[in-house]
Amino acid sequence: MSAVDVPAGIAAFLGAPTPQAWVDAAAAPAALPDLLVDHANCEKKAAATALSLMFRYDVRGDLVWRLSRIAREELRHFEQVQQVMQERGIAWRRVPASRYAQGLTAAARGGEPGRLVDRLIAAAFIEARSCERFALLAQRLDERLARFYTSLLAAEARHYRDYLKLARNAGGDVGERVDALRLIENELATAPDATLSFHSGAPPGVAAG
């Protein structure tokens, strides 16, 4: 498939690109079953994150409205990934939280509104990184998956912008926290990882780059 562009602003927001070694490993036919299972889990967890924030901060009307829409779309994406898995005879299973998710969660501050701001910024990074990797994989996968991942780009890019806007609404000028969390996210997304997953870093034993 021809090149698929990452939506405007996402590459600059992320800072560090996904290692080419990750793209090569993730696009290998043998890796696709595990990657699809992980992707399905990621979509379900993304919906759960949006719902969790909705219930925890339910007095914030604009936040609740936007998160409700995000949760619906993430659940729809979960259903779509499950459909692809069923077409290919791939069984559903739970997967543990990745180093990436654990690292971003651990970086959140403890007090409010800092914790809310950091969780929203972390969610923006997760959505932006997902968007970048959908675009990269769409160039390497079979036509069915390429169309599917390309179709996800607009929604994931909107989620990234929504989370970032919500962080600004909650914390004003969040530039310093974005910069701080970017350093953590970049290390998590590029450093060698023990296992391959949708948000993992470079494959084991491969230097980032």
The residue ranges of every structural domain in the chain are 32-92+112-190
- Identify the band that residue 183 occupies on the pLDDT scale cut at 50, 70 and 90: very high
Residue 12 in tokens: 């600059």
pLDDT at 206: 57
Mean pLDDT of the chain: 93
Q: Is the pLDDT of residue 59 over 60?
A: yes
CA 7 – CA 180 distance, rounded (Å): 23
HEC readout, the chain: CCCCCCCCCHHHHHCCCCCHHHHHHHCCHHHHHHHHHHHHHHHHHHHHHHHHHHHHCCCCHHHHHHHHHHHHHHHHHHHHHHHHHHHCCCCCCCCCCCHHHHHHHHCCCCCCCHHHHHHHHHHHHHHHHHHHHHHHHHCCCCHHHHHHHHHHHHHHHHHHHHHHHHHHHHHCCCHHHHHHHHHHHHHHHHCCCCCCCCCCCCCCCCCCC
pLDDT at 107: 95
pLDDT at 8: 77
**Fold category of 32-92+112-190 in CATH:** Ferritin (1.20.1260)
Question: Which of 74, 77, 71, 75 is CA-nearest to residue 55?
Answer: 71
CA 93 – CA 135 distance, rounded (Å): 25
Q: Is the pLDDT of residue 199 over 90?
A: yes
Could you report the per-residue pLDDT of 10-40, keeping only the tens digit for each?
Answer: 999 999 999 999 999 999 999 999 999 999 9
Q: Is the pLDDT of residue 126 over 80?
A: yes
Mean pLDDT over 73-99 rounds to 94
Q: Is the pLDDT of residue 2 over 90?
A: no
